[in-house]
């Protein structure tokens, strides 16, 4: 019986030490949180890039012929 009791006590002590270490690392931090600058907006895609993307969508079947034609006309300004 003594061995079981010692093993359990050792486990409890080790668990408490690990918990205390974790609490110490993640405990309250008096420093203010860091503020990051917002990411710049993505660069606008060129007309060629947009047309290529439309062509890929049309080829995959995601766009119908009518949708592809309308979107292409909108990009080309016509």
Residue 70's pLDDT is: 95
Torsions phi, psi for 22 (to 5 deg)? -65, -40
20-72 residue pLDDT tens:
666 666 555 566 667 888 888 887 788 999 999 999 999 999 999 999 999 99
Question: pTM of the prediction?
Answer: 0.44
Residue 40's pLDDT is: 83
Dist CA 10 CA 33 (whole Å): 38
């Amino acid at each position: 019986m003594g061995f079981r009791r010692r093993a359990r006590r050792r486990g409890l002590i080790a668990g408490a030490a690990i918990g205390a270490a974790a609490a110490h690392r993640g405990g309250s931090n008096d420093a203010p949180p860091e503020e990051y600058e917002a990411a710049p907006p993505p660069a606008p895609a060129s007309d060629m890039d947009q047309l290529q993307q439309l062509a890929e969508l049309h080829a995959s079947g995601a766009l119908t012929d009518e949708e592809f034609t309308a979107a292409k006309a909108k990009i080309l300004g016509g």
